[in-house]
Structure 1
Amino acid sequence: MSKKKGKKSTASGGAQIAVNRKARHEYSIEERIEAGLVLQGWEVKSLRAGKAQITESYVILQSGEAWLFGAQITPLLSASTHVSPDPTRTRKLLLHNHELARLIGAVERKGYALIALALYWKNGRAKLEIGLAKGKKLHDKRAAEKDRDWARQKERVLKAN
């Protein structure tokens, strides 16, 4: 019997396409927001094939709209013949006006940034999880690593007993 290799699902229940694993190490995430993406046809095909990377991506708020920068969606060879695909183009994010207003107010505070955390499917539509985050200093990263190691040691001791 063979087991099906399924994709991991997110907290919202959709299948993950790409995850920014560096985000939790580099930033302390204070709030998570779900946003839709405006995509072209070849991008949807590439996302279904899992050809996306969001590790270096971030969100910028310009003139009342949210834009995703730095996300790379690699085009498939057979995806588009009549359009020249740009893998790192800026993509518009779909958010409600009240969410945008809250994010604009938060980003204007010192040290806050909007970063892409996860890209996933929800009801057949691609969604992006954005994190309102504050950058960690070096000593914060070391403290977090020390806490994580201590938690692992405690689990080992409890498991041994």
Structure 2
Amino acid sequence: MATKNKAPNSRIAENKRAFYNYFIEERFEAGMVLYGWEVKALRSGKAQLTDAYVLIRDGEIFLIGGQINPLHTASTHVSTEPDRTKKLLLKKDEIKRLIGKVEQKGYTLVPLTLYWKNGYVKCEIALAKGKAEYDKRSTIKEREGKREVERAMKSRNR
């Protein structure tokens, strides 16, 4: 029996740029089809989602551009591709609904996080709409305003 060394629902990787570049409309939890060396690399936290995106092709959903860097101790008889296209697993009705939404102008699918759930790797994807430049500036303004309020609260508490 294998022991789990990770806490349940622990995060592996996060795509912080997605929240800056897109308005998140809906979130979906998708399973992933992975090789053994990829799972081992994910256990050590060697994943990156910053340049990744989700594509629908022939009624199936794929994660493209997400990197899983192999461990140095990976087997020599396996050829490793860090940026291999990975298939995502969703229910048929969810995929059909996403296809209808993505065909609308301005909507896209972006990966948000990779995390462990009951021993399986899950990818949280979002139906998102792109932000205009002025929206990004307002996001920065809000974030800086929150930081200033937190700093003021900290200085008062001291």
Tell whether the structures are fold-level matches, with TM greater than 0.5. Answer: yes
User: In the alignment, what sits opposite 1:49?
Assistant: 44
Q: In 2, distance between residues paired with 1:55 and 1:141?
A: 17
Deviation at 1:83, TM superposition (A): 1.2
1:87 aligns with 2:82: yes
How many residue pairs were aligned? Answer: 152
- Of 60, 72, 76, which aligns to 1:77? 72
- Of 30, 35, 46, which aligns to 1:35? 30
3-state SS in 1 of match to 2:134: helix
Q: Which runs of 5+ in 2 are unaligned?
A: 1-5
Q: In 2, distance between residues paired with 1:65 and 1:16?
A: 25
Deviation at 1:155, TM superposition (A): 5.0
1:141 aligns with 2:124: no
Question: How high is the TM-score relative to the length of structure 1?
Answer: 0.87
Deviation at 1:133, TM superposition (A): 0.7
Q: Which runs of 5+ in 1 are unaligned?
A: 1-6
Deviation at 1:156, TM superposition (A): 5.2
1:117 aligns with 2:122: no
1:23 aligns with 2:18: yes
3-state SS in 2 of match to 1:22: helix
Deviation at 1:31, TM superposition (A): 0.7
Amino acid at match of 1:99: E
| Identical columns (%) | 57
Deviation at 1:148, TM superposition (A): 2.7
- Of 86, 95, 101, which aligns to 2:96? 101
Q: In 1, distance between residues paired with 2:50 and 2:111?
A: 8
User: In the alignment, what sits opposite 2:3?
Assistant: none
- Of 57, 62, 68, which aligns to 1:67? 62
Q: In 2, distance between residues paired with 1:79 and 1:19?
A: 24
Q: In 1, distance between residues paired with 2:141 and 2:50?
A: 24
1:76–1:153 CA distance, 2 compared to 1 (3 A): closer
Question: How high is the TM-score relative to the length of structure 2?
Answer: 0.88
3-state SS in 1 of match to 2:16: coil
